[in-house]
Amino acid sequence: MQVTITINGEQVARDVEPRQLLVHFIRDTPGLTGTHWGCDTSNCGACVVLMDGQPIKSCTTLAAMCEGHEIRTVESLETGGELDPIQQGFHEKHALHCGFCTPGMLMTTRALLDENPNPTDEEIRTAISGGICRCTGYKNIVAAVQWAAQHEAATRQEV
């Protein structure tokens, strides 16, 4: 079947089997391999992308179900050579080691800050509870999100 999905602002059309999962559509067709394909059971959160601004697990969503929707992947965070504040936060606070969970963590926490620009540590931990990180113990991820929140608040004040 023909499926057309807007991924990072660009329309991607492809003839796929109805059973194709969104994560494979994203990785195969436009070659956006930043979205990681992990546990395949909606437990690990490495595959999280935004659908109409909301984080979803792309391993448990059919590509066909996304026709007509806007998908954002980790590749969309950097604009014009400038990292998104959430990416800068992960860099500053050393919020990754192997990096496998990172795309999902970045998209999940980007969506959190879009909805709640000043989250508590508890709110961050709840938001990322659908993602598994085996390197950081989560502490640095929470610190990175707080770094991004403060940085964004400062930027807003300057403007």
Q: Which residues here bind other proteins, judged by CB under 8 A? A: 1, 17-21, 40-43, 45, 48, 54-57, 60-62, 64-65, 67, 108, 126-127, 129-131
- Cβ within 8 Å of residue 142, ≥6 positions away: 121, 124, 125
**CB 58 to other proteins: min, Å:** 10
User: How near is the Cβ of 154 to other proteins at its closest, in Å?
Assistant: 27
Q: How many CA atoms lie within 13 A of 75 on its CB side?
A: 14
- Between the alpha carbon of residue 157 and those of residues 71, 96, 147, 150, 151, the distances in Å are 30, 29, 16, 11, 10
By residue count, the chain amounts to 159
**Closest to other proteins by CB, 118 or 129:** 129
Nearest approach in angstroms of CB 23 to other proteins is 10
CB nearer to other proteins: pick between 126 and 155: 126
Nearer to other proteins, 18 or 99 (CB): 18
**From the CB of 60, what's the least distance to other proteins, in Å?**
5
Across 1-121, the runs of DSSP E, i.e. the strands, are 2-7, 10-15, 48-51, 54-57, 70-72
